[in-house]
């Protein structure tokens, strides 16, 4: 692996008595694309949010680009400038145009002047194929277009790492492809990416590695061919069989009172 851009060491996170992350160890190299998969409640999104300290870990360490994010004395704002994050929801300001949504954080956080911020905004709108929407407002855009604007906004900050938290889960199926195409281009450009996703085709085609999580631990970590194509763990096989062929799921397993359902429901945030 290339130089680690993200290092997670014995990461733990609890919400009250509920331990959501139970000693996670993970490294992601510079330019590497890692997809994190697993059932709801497995800790995927919590892990992602701990990387840029949107969730404060209960224990363990996180380093980004060699800087310890979890150090109490760290300048977290400086670290976050190096990390772009795209959420399930687009979080665009509805009263601002697309260009204004991209220029505002540049001017406020990076101190760029209006002309420079507008130039960077235009460059990144072109990267996501939305140059013609520069003067549009979010309400006039489809969900897929709004998510691509959100990606462009993150890119305009010049991040070294991009985190994606199920970026297509809120989209209608026909809009997913355009967003994934943008993410493919970023991967081809060498962007370091950590992606929580249920899009198995994307994970197969784009990821360098796939990490399968369940019950707050990493169960498998390997190439897409290993983890998706030939999983070695029964929990991974069970998850993928239900995800890839839901019609084959055992109806009985969805019935009330099943211990595994109760366990997943009690784990807290994803």
Place of tokens 């601002």: 96
Could you tell me the pTM of the whole model? 0.88
**Could you tell me the end-to-end alpha-carbon distance of the chain, in angstroms, rounded to an integer?**
28
What does the pLDDT read at residue 97?
A: 97
How many residues are recorded in the chain? 270
Q: For 61-88, give the secondary structure using H, E and C.
A: EEEECCEECCCCCCCHHHHHCCEEEECC
pLDDT in tens, 31-83: 999 999 999 999 999 999 999 999 999 999 999 999 999 999 999 889 988 99
Mean pLDDT of 211-239: 95
């Amino acid at each position: 692996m290339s130089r680690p851009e993200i290092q997670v060491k014995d990461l733990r996170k609890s919400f009250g008595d509920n331990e959501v992350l139970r000693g996670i160890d993970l490294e992601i190299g510079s330019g590497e694309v890692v997809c994190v998969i697993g059932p709801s409640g497995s800790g995927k999104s919590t892990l992602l949010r701990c990387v840029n300290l949107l969730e404060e870990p209960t224990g363990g360490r996180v380093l980004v680009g060699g800087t310890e994010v979890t150090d109490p004395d760290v300048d977290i704002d400086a670290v976050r400038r190096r990390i772009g994050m795209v959420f399930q929801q687009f979080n665009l300001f509805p009263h601002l145009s697309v260009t204004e949504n991209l220029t505002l954080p540049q001017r406020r956080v990076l101190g760029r002047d209006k002309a420079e911020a507008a130039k960077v905004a235009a460059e990144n709108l072109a990267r996501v194929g939305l140059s013609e929407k520069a003067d549009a407002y979010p309400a006039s855009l489809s969900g897929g277009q709004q998510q691509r604007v959100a990606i462009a906004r993150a890119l305009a900050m010049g991040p070294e790492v991009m985190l994606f938290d199920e970026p297509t889960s809120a989209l209608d199926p026909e809009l997913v492809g355009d967003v994934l195409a943008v993410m493919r281009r970023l991967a081809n450009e060498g962007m370091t990416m950590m992606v929580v996703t249920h899009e198995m085709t994307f994970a197969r085609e784009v990821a360098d590695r796939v990490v399968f999580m369940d019950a707050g631990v990493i169960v498998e970590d390997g190439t897409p061919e290993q983890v998706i194509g030939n999983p070695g763990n029964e929990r991974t096989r069970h998850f993928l069989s239900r995800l890839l062929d839901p019609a084959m799921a055992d109806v009985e397993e969805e019935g009330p009172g099943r211990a595994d359902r109760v366990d997943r429901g009690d784990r807290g945030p994803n």
